[in-house]
Each structure stands twice: as structure tokens, then as C-alpha cells.
Amino acid sequence: MKKNRIVVLVDMDAFFASCEQQEKPFLRGKPVAVGGKNIVAACSYEAKAYGVKSGMSTYKAIEICPSLIVVPGDMEKYAFTSREIMKMLPDYTSEIEIFSVDEAFLDVTDTVKFWDNNPFNIAKDLRERIKRRFGINASVGISYNKLMAKLASFLAKPDGIKMIKRDDARNLLENLPVEKLSGIGQRLKKELNALGIVTCGELARFPVTILKKLFGQYGLLLHYMAMGEDSSAVKEAVPKNRSMGHSKTIPGGIEDKHTALIYLFRLCEMVGRKVRKSGMIGKTVSITIRYEDFFTFTRQITLSYYIESGEEIYEIAKGLFMQTDTLYRIRLLGVSLSGLVKASRQIRLKEDERGIRLRRAVDAINNRYDR
């Protein structure tokens, strides 16, 4: 890991809603929700001022904000704008990690020297270019690792720049609610709060042995996160040929989790078969869920060992799926396995030779009858 790293996170403000406001000037300055008749997928800052949030029911959003303007989403438009913005990033560094459709990490440790050794100059230039070309505001966080750069961008919103230095991190984190850290959602927040852990300072002081007992290795990670430590590198997204997956659009949608798991199992079997046919094994399992009014999200987990079977993929995917709240009809399910490498006995950490031979025999039958 580099010493004295400088990591920048650029995050477009209210991205979907901002795209709509720029394309339709009459929406500017007004509370806007992007979504459908049931779910708010995204909203403008004018809508947020009323308490409207992503994931909220459209009915409730209109109830608390009667002047709310609901517009249908256009994912192709957002994806195009995102791609064009991301094309700007190599002008600042070659070390880029696209975190989501509206966020990207940049490691500028080796290139900040071209900007008078001042990362603020990079942030200002990038924000101005995005604003000038697309009319969209971007917030930028600067820090010594990805975790803190992410926090800095959150604190910079809307339309600002924030830098968190290592020397200032401990004081900042002391009274910061744990859910403000990237990676700690509402479910985990509730579990930590039940332990009497409300702030990052309290999490940092909580016995690590108990955290590991309750949360496994993630407990150790939580301990380091609470102290502002993150050793993960800024790295490119997995190339297309290093990820294999399948998805299924479900006509009419489904609400029942048990039915959804049947679809999920079949998808996992298909992914496992595809991976084995390519002679690969992987360690990162991802699931994608799209609800009836297009709101889509992805969850993933990276294992410490490689897998290839549909059953193994399903067990991990099922765990991710059961963490979600199925309040609305699911229209699409997707599963993928990434972090792929060529299979070999040397890197199989959970090898079961008999199971491997059995899976290959089943694959041969399925391939023969095109199942």
C-alpha cells in the first residue's frame, strides 16, 4: 500500500433528478422525484428538504410534499451521462475505480504534483468541467483512504469539497454516528445500537473479540473502520471477461420471497455451469434486484476462497437476498460471479474432488440436452 495516499471521491449530487432538471428546465428549483407509481428511486435536493427519500413510497412522498413532481426514470440517459463524465477522469490519474453510476474513486497520489501538490485544484477543475458541460453539481471528498474520502464527500454535500486529514480523523469520528460510514446500513446500525454502540468512537473502543464473535471477520473490519483505517486500493472494476452472470425478468413480478428464491437458485445453477464450462472459479458473488418501477440495486460479497458450483453460489446469494426488504414486487433478479481466475488445484481452498466430478457429469448431461 502506498504511503501518504491521496484518494479523491467524486459524487454527482442527486444525479438522476439533476439529469432530469437539466433536460427539462421547468423542473429546475422544484421538488422532483424520479420513479413510478409506487417507489421513489431518487429525488432532488428541493424534494429532500421536505423529507422525501429514495426508496420511499410515492404515495407517502406526495403526502409530505404535495408539490412533488414525479417523472419516470430514463436509465439509458443516466448511463450515457455517467459514461461521458467518467471519460474525464483519466485526465487526472490512471488509477480509477468506478464505484457506482454517479461515483468514482481516484488515487491521485502520483499525479497531484502536476496540480501544485494541491488535491483541491484537482477537485475544483473536475467539478467545474462537470458543471460546465452537464449542468450537474458534484461533491468531492479528499482523504488518505477510500473510506474517509467517501465520508468526506458525504460531508461536502451538496455541491462542495471536503478534505479529511489523517490527523483530524480520530476527532471527527469520535462522535460520528456509525451509520455515516460507508458499509454500515440500517440493519447493521440497529445491531450495533443494540450493543450500546452509537458512535464510531464507541465502536472503536468496543472489544474486538466480541465484534469478531458476533460478526465474524467483518467485526475486525468494523473495528478498523471506526478508527478511519481502510487498506483497500483504488482499483479498476472487474473487466467483463472476469465476471459471469445471468438475470431473469419476471413477467408480472413477484412479492413472495420463497418464490423469488426458486428463481434465484435456477440463476445460480446457470452461473455455476457457465463458470465451470469456461474453466474458471471466482470469489465475489453479486445479486441484482429490480422492483416493478425500475428501482434497481446490487449487493455483493467477496469470499476468502474460490467457488464454482451453483449450490455454493446460491448459499451466498441467498444470504445477500434475505438481507433485503421485499416490500414491492420484484421484476428482475440477477446473479453474477466475479474475481474469476483459471481453475487449478493449487488455488482451490475448499476442494471436493468427488463433488467436482459429479458437477461435471451433470454439466455434460445438461449441455447434451441443452438444458
Q: Of 63, 4, 57, 65, whose CA–CA distance to 31 is shortest?
A: 65
Q: Rounded to an integer, what distance in angstroms lies between the CA atom of residue 70 and that of residue 86? A: 28
Asked if 251 and 333 count as a contact pair (C-beta separation under 8 A), the reply is: no
174 as an active site residue: the answer is: no
Strand duo 96-100 + 330-338: pairing: unpaired
Collapsing DSSP states into helix, strand and coil, what is residue 69? strand
DSSP state of 236: P
Q: Rounded to 5 degrees, what angle do the CA atoms 235, 8, 89 make?
A: 70
* Cell numbers for 130: 462537470
Q: DSSP per residue over 207-260, as a string?
A: -HHHHHHHHTHHHHHHHHHHTT---PPP-PPPPGGGEEEEEEEEEEEE--HHHH
Rg of the chain on CA atoms, in Å: 22
Q: Rounded to 5 degrees, what angle do the CA atoms 22, 51, 153 make?
A: 60
Question: 204 burial class (0-12, 13-18, 19+ CB within 10 angstroms)?
Answer: buried
Phi (first) and psi of residue 331, to 5 degrees: -105, -25
Asked if 176 and 168 count as a contact pair (C-beta separation under 8 A), the reply is: no
Place of cell 428546465: 25
Please enumerate in sequence order all residues whose Cβ is within 8 A of that of 48, keeping only pairs 6 or more positions apart, or say none. Answer: 14
3-state helix, strand, coil in the chain (%, to 5): 45, 25, 30
Of 95, 103, 308, 312, the active-site residue reads: 103
Catalytic machinery residues? 103
